[in-house]
Amino acid sequence: MYQLEQTIYFYLTLVTPIVLVGFLVLNRWKSTVQKKHVSKKLLKILSPNISTFKPKLKLIFLLLFFLFTSISLVNPKIGTQLKTVKREGVDIVFAIDVSKSMLAEDVAPNRLEKAKRLVSQIINELNSDRVGIIAYAASALPILPITNDYSTAKMFLQSLNTEMLSSQGTAILESIKLAKDYYDDENQTNRVLCILSDGEDHEIENQNISEIGEDSGITIFTIGLGTVKGSPIPIKSNNIVESYKKDSEGEVVITKLIPKLLEDLASSTNGIYIEGENTEEVVKIVIDKLKEMDKQEFESKQFVAYKDQFQWFIALALIFLCLELFVFEKKTFWIKKLNLFNE
């Protein structure tokens, strides 16, 4: 396991392309001026010791110096001591709808981005709970197994998009079935599934929702995204709306929030249904509900000691700086005799 202490110094790596571009521009200018005043043949006679290879070599050393210096300032750390700790918390799996209807913009910026923002804010408020992530459309896809690594969870969360699953639809039942495999023990009382969707699932509508919830053995929270009035589904190119999704008859599809389905699913498991428009309110309700639940004690391993690794990178940076300073642009005569660079 590793940590990056000062990530802001990664911006110093921008010096590398700037120096490279500057070198290329300068070389181009030199070449243009030389062609105006002297031929290549005459230049070799006037300056026989000028090397064409060494300036490039010096540039490489200089770029490596800037690169390793910036990494050393970031100060990467590596975990050196792994310790088993006991925690009490809730296992909460987020099942996020990634069907095309989640691109509707009746909540800003769109339903999917709103769902990702809500989950990210909820994770920020968690303490010793563990999280998992599922994406679903016409089928369900495991994204992240149960973990207490919140930074990794948020990284995987941001990767969700509507192109992840080729088959389209909204199969909430599939996400519930998949979530059952996420928990360590079927008898644990702290199993929570948080479903974020617009509720447009026509397959589950004709089934007994209360039985589905009770059979799962999971407390289900549902968060409704969208508006009852509905919105068309934009088709974009380079973030510009080109048209809207249409049905087989050529009519623009209006996707709407269907709260009843989500409400019934939540109430069947003594869970809660929340409308997802107000981020702060949603986060508060979810966190308060989690605090009321029984906490399951579990063991987890985590790194408790980290060792600085900046010294290796600063050493490499100094080596390349010394090489850049001690390599001259003139030809080295003993290397010239070997003719390694065909000069």
Distances (CA, A) of 23 to 16, 27, 63, 128, 193: 11, 6, 11, 52, 56
- Sign for the CA dihedral angle at 162, 163, 164, 167 comes to positive
Pick the CATH number of 83-300 from 3.40.1280.10, 3.40.50.410, 3.40.50.300, 1.10.10.60: 3.40.50.410
What does the alpha-carbon distance between residue 270 and residue 191 come to, in Å, rounded to a whole number?
A: 12
Q: Rounded to the nearest 5 degrees, what angle is found at the Cα of 88, between the Cα atoms of 82 and 89? A: 110
What does the alpha-carbon distance between residue 170 and residue 225 come to, in Å, rounded to a whole number?
A: 13
pLDDT at res. 44: 67
Tokens of 90: 């809730």
Every domain range in the chain assigned CATH 3.40.50.410:
83-300
Whole-model pTM: value is 0.63
Q: How would you classify the pairing of strands 219-224 and 273-275?
A: parallel
Neighbour count for residue 65 (Cβ, 10 Å):
23
What does the alpha-carbon distance between residue 27 and residue 33 come to, in Å, rounded to a whole number?
A: 10
pLDDT at res. 209: 64
Extract the residue ranges of the chain whose pLDDT is less than 50: 334, 341, 343
What does the alpha-carbon distance between residue 20 and residue 61 come to, in Å, rounded to a whole number?
A: 12
Residue 232 contacts residue 104 (beta carbons within 8 Å): yes
Query: 3-class DSSP state for residue 313?
Result: helix
The shares of helix, strand and coil residues in the chain, as percent rounded to the nearest 5, are 45, 25, 30
Q: Rounded to the nearest 5 degrees, what angle is found at the Cα of 322, between the Cα atoms of 321 and 323? A: 90
pLDDT at res. 280: 94
Q: Using the CB atoms, write b or e for 20-51: b if 16+ within 10 Å.
A: eeebeeeeeeeeeeeeeeeeeeeeeeeeeeeb
pLDDT at res. 15: 84
Strand-pair partners of 246: 252
pLDDT at res. 80: 62
